[in-house]
Amino acid sequence: MRTHSSPDVFEAKLEAEGIKYYFAKEVKVVTTPLRTYKKVKPLIPPYIFVYGSYLDISNFKQHYDIISFIPVRSNGTHTTMKVSDKEMDDFIRVVERDFGQVRIFKANEIELAEGQRVRITGGDLDGVEGMLTREKGKRDKRLYVRVEGFLVASTPVEKIFVQLLD
């Protein structure tokens, strides 16, 4: 969903209604001549992922006109974006892993050459599935996880934890 208000206001309203959500944030250390402090910033503004039925979220939307659904085109018709629990859980685990190593792209910002479908079989990403690709000029391989047609997140992975699929 796309928010049309301050993330803090939106989060408070979702919590008050008991709606589960995910809002990717990063902590930046800001240093000024007077002080150093931590600032929490949205990692993927202005998007918040909301868990729930279409009816529950539509009811929330009627009361608080601060969100909009993300439309997608499928088979010639427009529909609302839906993300499977597995796809969302994998994406969250990659994004939450290490903000210094994670890269996030909108789907139209990156064109991935077809890589090998893999499952991670150990470590903090155990069970996450995605595509393994090496970037040009780099030795490290990265795991790319997609929220189909919307976002792609990538992070480096250790070869010992990689199981080839297909």
Pairing assessment for the beta strands 71-74 and 129-134 based on DSSP bridges = unpaired
Q: Nearest-CA neighbor of 23 among 33, 9, 36, 38? A: 9
pLDDT, residue 128, reads: 93
Q: Rounded mean pLDDT of 120-130?
A: 91
Question: For the chain, what percent of residues have pLDDT higher than 90?
Answer: 11
pLDDT of residue 158: 86
- Indicate the pLDDT class of residue 61, thresholds 50, 70 and 90: confident
In this prediction, residue 59 carries a pLDDT of: 84
55 near 69, Cβ under 8 Å?
Answer: no
Predicted model pTM: 0.78
Task: Give the per-residue pLDDT at 24.
Answer: 83
Per-residue pLDDT band at 119 (split at 50, 70, 90): very high
Instruction: Please report, for the chain, the start and end positions of each structural domain, with discontinuous segments joined by +.
Output: 2-80, 85-164
Contact between 165 and 119 under an 8 Å Cβ cutoff? The reply is yes
The CA R_g of the chain, rounded to the nearest whole Å, is: 18
Find the mean pLDDT for residues 63-80.
Answer: 76
Kindly provide the b/e burial profile for residues 16-35, where b requires at least 16 CB atoms within 10 angstroms of the residue's own CB: eeeeeebbbbeeeeeeeeee
CA atoms within 13 A on the CB side of 105: 14
Question: What token pair was written down for 160?
Answer: 């010992």
pLDDT class for 4, splitting at 50, 70, 90? low
